[in-house]
Amino acid sequence: MRWSEEITKQLAYCLTLLGVFISTFYVPVYVVDLLLLGLCIPLFWQAIKSAFKGIIGSDLFLSIATIVGLIGHEERAICIVLLIMALAEYIEYFIEERTTTAIESLVQLIPTDVRASIKGKEQRIPLASAHAGMIIIVYTGDRIPVDGSVTRGTAFVNESSLTGESTQKRKTIGDIVFAGTFIEEGSIEVEVEKVGTQTFFGKIQQLLENTQTGKSRIALLADRVAFILVPMLLLFIGLVWLYTGNIQLIVSLLVFGSPLELTLVTPLASLAGVTAAFKQGILVKGGKALERLAHIDTIIFDKTGTLTCGMPQIVRIDVIDAHYTQQDILLLAAIAEKHSGHVLARAILQKAHESGIVIPEPEHYSSKAGQGVEVIYKSKKYRLGSKHFIEQVVSVQEHDEKAEDSTTSVVYLTCQDYLCGRIYIADLVRDDASSTIRKLHESGLDVLLLSGDRHGAVEYTATTLGIKKYYSGLFPDEKLALIKKLQTHGHIVAMVGDGINDAPALKQADLGIALGGMGMEPAIEAADIVLLTNDLEAIYFVYTLAKKVLRTIKQNIFFGFILVHAVGMLLAFLGIISPVQAAIFHAVPDIAMVLNSLRLTTTKKVF
């Protein structure tokens, strides 16, 4: 890891303080005092700036402790307190640098120039000059620099930079490719759709940069406690000084009164948790998200693409109107779904490509999230979607078979409001879904399944996975209403989804989790946690990590702050310990708390 200037400066500051502490045994006191005053100038300046803003915090407390300690010739005690503070800040910088290094490594994956096809000739141009609609050429060994669709050629692409899974995916005409992914074999021409920060890769980079913003509720509470506690302690210690005149006692009380644990060590645990999650391919948007996750009592899953494999296949096409053939039904369905990002749409488009069907552009396209699409092709209006969506214009009851296979989803096609066909699509339950649901159940969470799919398919998935509460045939607004109802009854709800249709529900839930978010920007932006890998068991991992982070923060606050400070101030009042002993007594739990937080960064998935 490259060390930043901040880390280098903080390490130098720690070593200098250590040197000053050692010098107290060998050099005159006035020299040590001058050295400490010089080292504390930034601390004093920060305390003055905070005081002018009406903030009485740990900077002011430590500044007063330093000045009083120097007056009372307790330089060693002050050195120890300042050294612990500096060490905690150094470790915080160190953890932050890990995230910064990850961001920089992402940036370096994107090439600075591209091969563009301009008037039929290959030319190298700066990436910044690339724009939507341009054709670029990518060869074996190259990183794809943009998001776009393949217009020519075939290649095997490694998407591990985004998913963490080092497997090849075959990309050919019509397939979507993403910036930052690597061509292991083949060459393709790509029509540019998104460049720079607008790409999926760019959005991940931006989210990473923002992971340290937004303090958790417990961290904000710690800040408020420190804000109230510091002036109260200073007033109390001032009264003790007026009553006793014992400067050694005052220094000891100032040492124990330092709110260092609240202002530094508490957010350090959250930062360590965010870092540990990212190392496992999980992007957590700050400590606030981890804290909310630790408090959830209900977790809701979408079905298609979340609990199922997300690679559905057409298993049957029924022709209802004799004027059409199965090939016609497939063609019209592909035209309708050409611009859809839904999982079922991918099955239809894939089948059309395999059948050698060229998919023309519709004359008009509109979609209704979670229900279906409406297009105009050759001046005729077609609808494709769920039973609910189609029944807005025509009844499907008389054509519906009662003995449908519960493992399939069904989409209907109409032409000019007349039913003309039905497509059956099967999507298998994921291998890791059962163990994940079981572990979440065992953790005491209430697990629900919400889906817009028909009852039979949803019931089959729920029964297979042991989910007792499930709802089928839901529109997106009905999912929102159900989540709101749970929240009004006092439940803290997490929502797990993977698609565009899930974005509103992810946003409404107390915590949104986007699973395997390749190209699903709306879901990613709405979610609080993004699983960059397609690993469902990562949900259980990040849940247990969140509980661990919260437990660590509570341990730090209780044992490191409340207990140690209460015992320490009592010992100081009884005259049992000197200021130096007080500093050591204070330092040991502080170091333990820093290490307790730091160990979170080594947390790994174990399944």
- Virtual CA dihedral for 525, 528, 533, 536, nearest 10 degrees? -130
Banded model confidence at residue 468, pLDDT cuts 50, 70, 90:
very high
CB 579 within 8 A of CB 81: no
pLDDT at 215: 54
pLDDT over 90, % of the chain: 16
pLDDT of 403: 36
Q: What is the pLDDT of residue 220?
A: 59
pTM for the full model? 0.71
Measured between alpha carbons, how far is 401 from 316 in angstroms, rounded to an integer? 13
Give residue-wise pLDDT tens across range 393-410: 888 775 565 435 566 788
The pLDDT assigned to 447 comes to: 95
Alpha helices per DSSP H over 386-537: 387-390, 433-442, 455-465, 476-488, 503-508, 521-526
Given this chain, do its domains 112-199 and 313-426 carry the same CATH topology?
A: no
Name which of 241, 247, 415, 409 is nearest 322 in CA terms.
415
> Containing H/E element for 156?
strand 147-158
pLDDT per residue over 349-391, tens digit each? 888 988 888 889 888 888 876 678 899 999 999 999 888 888 8
Is the domain covering 112-199 a CATH 2.70.150.10 domain? yes
CATH superfamily membership of 313-426: Calcium-transporting ATPase, cytoplasmic domain N (3.40.1110.10)
Poorest-confidence range of 150-154, 190-194, 412-416, 565-569? 565-569
Q: What is the mean pLDDT of residues 79-106?
A: 70
Mean pLDDT of 120-146: 84
Residue found under tokens 């920089």: 104
Which residues are catalytic, by number? 302
Q: For 556-580, what is the mean pLDDT?
A: 79
pLDDT at residue 401 in the model: 54
Q: What is the DSSP string of 226-244?
A: HHHHHHHHHHHHHHHHHHH
What are 386-395's pLDDT values in tens digits? 888 888 888 8
Contact 291, 550 (CB under 8 A): yes
pLDDT at residue 516 in the model: 61
Q: What is the pLDDT of residue 440?
A: 95
How does pLDDT run across 220-277, given as a tens digit for each residue? 555 666 667 777 777 888 888 888 888 888 888 877 777 666 666 667 788 888 888 8
**Spans of all domains in the chain:** 5-102+210-275+545-602, 112-199, 313-426
